[in-house]
Amino acid sequence: MLVTGAAGFIGSNLCDALVASGARVIGVDDLSVGKRENLKEAESAGLEFVQGSILEPESWSAHLRSATRVIHMAVACLRRCFQNPMTVHHINATGTLAVLEACRQHAPNLQRFVYCSSSEVYGTALQAPMDENHPLKPTTVYGASKLAGEIYTLASDLPVTVARPFNTYGPREHHQGASGEVIPRFAVRISNGLAPLIFGDGSQTRDFTHVSDTARALMLISANDQALGRSINLARGQEVSIARIAELLIEKLGRPDLKPEYRGARPQDVDRHYAATGLARELLGFEARLDIEAGLDQYVDWFQRTHPEASRLLEEVQEQNW
């Protein structure tokens, strides 16, 4: 098994799950966003790490000769596209094509290529819950670049599956800069006695899915022949508003004195994401195990153990309205 973007948030959790299952894993990452320390446990259990960029596959493609499965996780995140749209396109679209071509040339024993796309390819929900036939109308360059990666993947002559994870959260999720996501940003501010910042009115919803469930689903996809050639939602199937997430974290972090602070809406933000999960259940036997309250309990426990002095994180949280 070869995993690109292995040192990132979802990638490292996936690698942990893979090595725990007994798989031999090669992790590839350029460490531009991911951290080598995220792979500490996986490396101690046998993961082989290779530093390299998906845009320069010659630095790692020799490892494809022994790979029977590839899970392509490497990505440039959503908010980078507002300041660097060409970079996001280059990494997400051109980078995916580069990985596919490397597999075609150097992976003679490839049995499955899994492309990790995003629910952002749908744009905001036109009907809900959103199944895999929902119109594809991304609202950002990020979403469009992930959709381009899907099209390249499905147009290849490789044995492929497209995974569409909805908003994944959990241990190692980024709080810093353009890569920072709402749950860790809220956690950092609340832990420092500051109001969580909500962009817009807070009614916008996401289908938050714990990373342990996302990783398990990706493993199931990589081994299931019924998933060949398909695009499959990976989600809890539970719609939760951003305002509700703030309320839950205020409660779980023990700061009932705090109230959210509201600011102007983010540009091109989707209003609603709520996944239909029937196809994953039918093909993979997959159902998410953690609802949002149980998942946040686990996240808060990890956050407090890992960051006992949360004040050190505050300066890393940049709250740009993009």
List of residues 6+ apart from 209 with CB closer than 8 A:
165, 166, 167, 168, 169, 234, 235, 236, 288, 295
Query: Tokens in use for 195?
Result: 């109001």
Are the beta carbons of 197 and 260 closer than 8 angstroms? yes
CA pair distance 83, 252, nearest whole angstrom: 34
Name the nearest CA neighbour of 214 among 145, 283, 167: 167
Q: How many CB atoms lie within 10 A of CB 275?
A: 31
Region(s) of the chain under CATH 3.40.50.720: 2-166+210-234
pTM of the model: 0.95
Distance CA 114, CA 258 (A): 42
CATH homologous superfamily for the domain 177-206+238-314: UDP-galactose 4-epimerase, domain 1 (3.90.25.10)
Is the domain spanning 2-166+210-234 CATH 3.40.50.720? The answer is yes
Can you give the pLDDT of all 322 residues of the chain as single tens digits? 999 999 999 999 999 999 999 999 999 999 999 999 999 999 999 999 999 999 999 999 999 999 999 999 999 988 788 888 999 999 999 999 999 999 999 999 999 999 999 999 999 999 999 999 999 999 999 999 999 999 999 999 999 999 999 999 999 998 765 556 899 999 999 999 999 999 999 999 999 999 999 999 999 999 999 999 999 999 999 999 999 999 999 999 999 999 999 999 988 899 999 999 999 999 999 999 999 999 999 999 999 999 888 877 876 765 554 4
Which of 129, 108, 105, 110 lies closest to 119 in space, CA to CA?
129
Residues of the chain with CATH 3.90.25.10: 177-206+238-314
